[in-house]
Structure 1
Amino acid sequence: MNILVAGGTGFIGTALVEELLDRDHDVTVLARDPDGADLPSGVERVRGDVTAYDSIEAAFEGQDAVVNLVALSPLFKPTGATSHTDVHLGGTQNVVEAAESHDVRKIVQMSALGADPSGPTEYIRTKGQAERVVEDSDLAYTIVRPSVVFGEGGEFVSFTKQLTTPYVTALPGGGRTRFQPIWVGDLAPMLAECVDENRDGETYELGGPEVLTLADVTRLVYRAEGKSVTVLSIPMALAKVGMTAAEPVPVVPFGRDQYRSLNFDNTVADNDIGSFGVEESELTTLASYLGVE
Structure 2
Amino acid sequence: MQNLVTVFGGSGFVGSQVVRALAKRGWRIRVAVRQPNLAYEMRLNGDVGQIDIAQANVRNEASVRRALEGASACVNLVGVLYEGGRQGFQALHVMGARTIAAAARDEGVQQFVQMSALGADPASTAKYARTKAEGEAAVRELLPRAVVLRPSVVFGPEDDFFNRFAAMAQISPALPLIGGGHTRFQPVFVGDVAQAVAAVLADPDCAGRTYELGGPAVYTFRQLMELVLAETGLRRFLAPLPFPIAGMLGKIAGLLPVKPPITADQVEMLRTDNVPSGQAPGLADLGITPTSAESMIGSYLYRYRRGGQFADQVARAPA
Does the 8 Å contact 2:157/2:297 carry over to 1? Answer: no
1:189 equivalent to 2:199? Answer no
Query: Hey, what does 2:61 align to over in structure 1?
Result: 53
Match of 2:152 in 1: 147
Could you tell me how far 1:246 is from its partner in structure 2? 3.6
User: Is the contact made by 2:164 and 2:261 (CA closer than 8 Å) also made in structure 1?
Assistant: no
Is 1:64–2:72 an aligned residue pair? yes
Shift, 1:184, TM fit: 0.9
Which residue does 2:31 correspond to in 1? 29
Partners of 2:272 and 2:30 lie apart in 1 by 37
Q: Structure 1 residues 59 and 169, CA, compared in 2 at 3 Å: closer, same or farther?
A: closer
Residue 206 of structure 1, aligned match among 205, 208, 213: 213
Please tell me whether residue 264 in structure 1 is matched to residue 272 in structure 2.
yes
Contact 1:106 1:139 in 2 (8 A): no
Distance apart, 1:186 and its partner CA: 1.5
Paired letter, 1:206: L
Residue of structure 2 in register with 1:104 after alignment: 109
> In structure 1, what is the Cα distance between the partners aligned to 2:262 and 2:160?
14
Give the aligned residue type for 1:9. Answer: S
SS at match of 1:136: helix
- State which of 259, 267, 285 in structure 2 corresponds to 1:275: 285
For residues 115 and 72 of structure 2, what CA distance do their matches in structure 1 show? 17
Preserved contact between residue 247 and residue 256 of structure 1 (Cα < 8 Å): yes
Equivalences for residues 161-180 of structure 1 within 5 A = 161=166, 168-180=174-186
Q: Which residue type is aligned with residue 113 of structure 2?
A: V
Partner residue, 1:17: 19
Question: Structure 2: where are the runs of 5+ without partners?
Answer: 300-319
Aligned-pair distance for 1:166?
Answer: 5.8
Select 2:89's aligned residue among 61, 84, 106.
Answer: 84
Secondary structure class of the residue paired with 2:296: helix
Deviations, residues 189-240 of structure 1 (Å, cap 9, x unaligned): 1110111111111001110011112221222222222223331212223223
Q: Distance in 2 between matches of 1:171 and 1:138?
A: 41
How many residue pairs end up in the alignment? 286
- Counterpart of 2:254 in structure 1 is 247
Q: CA RMSD in A?
A: 1.9
Q: Give me the whole-angstrom Cα distance separating, in 2, the residues matched to 1:290 and 1:58.
A: 39
2: CA distance, partners of 1:121 / 1:236: 13
The residue type paired with residue 184 of structure 1 is V
Instruction: Confirm or deny: 8 A CA contact 1:209 1:284 kept in the other structure.
Output: yes
TM-score (norm 2): 0.84
Distance in 1, Cα, partners of 2:92 & 2:159? 19
Q: Matches of 1:240 and 1:139 in 2, distance apart?
A: 37
Whose Rg is larger?
2
User: Post-superposition shift, 1:241?
Assistant: 2.9
Q: Give the whole-Å Cα distance in 1 for the aligned partners of 2:285 and 2:226.
A: 32
In structure 1, what is the Cα distance between the partners aligned to 2:237 and 2:68?
51
Q: Distance in 1 between matches of 2:257 and 2:283?
A: 39
| C-alpha distance in structure 2 between counterparts of 1:18 and 1:232, whole Å | 40
1:138 Cα deviation (Å)? 4.0
Deviation at 1:171, TM superposition (A): 2.2
- Deviation string 1:21-40 (CA, Å, 9 cap, x unpaired) is 11111111101123322212
Q: Is the 8 A contact 1:7 1:13 kept in 2?
A: yes
DSSP-derived class of the 2:142 partner = coil
**Distance change (3 Å), C-alpha of 1:184 and 1:247:** closer
Match in the other structure for 1:116:
121
Amino acid corresponding to residue 22 of structure 1 in structure 2: K
User: d(CA) in 2 for partners of 1:97 and 1:78?
Assistant: 24
Which runs of 5 or more structure 1 residues have no equivalent in the other structure? none
Query: Compared with structure 1, are the counterparts of its residues 129 and 170 closer, same or farther at alpha carbon in structure 2 (3 Å cutoff)?
Result: closer
Which consecutive segments of 4 or more residues in structure 1 shift more than 6 A?
Answer: none
Matches within 5 A, 1:214-233: 214-233=221-240
What is the identity percentage for the equivalent residue pairs of Structure 1 and Structure 2? Answer: 33
1:137-157 alpha-carbon deviations (Å, 9 max, x no partner): 146311110101111222121
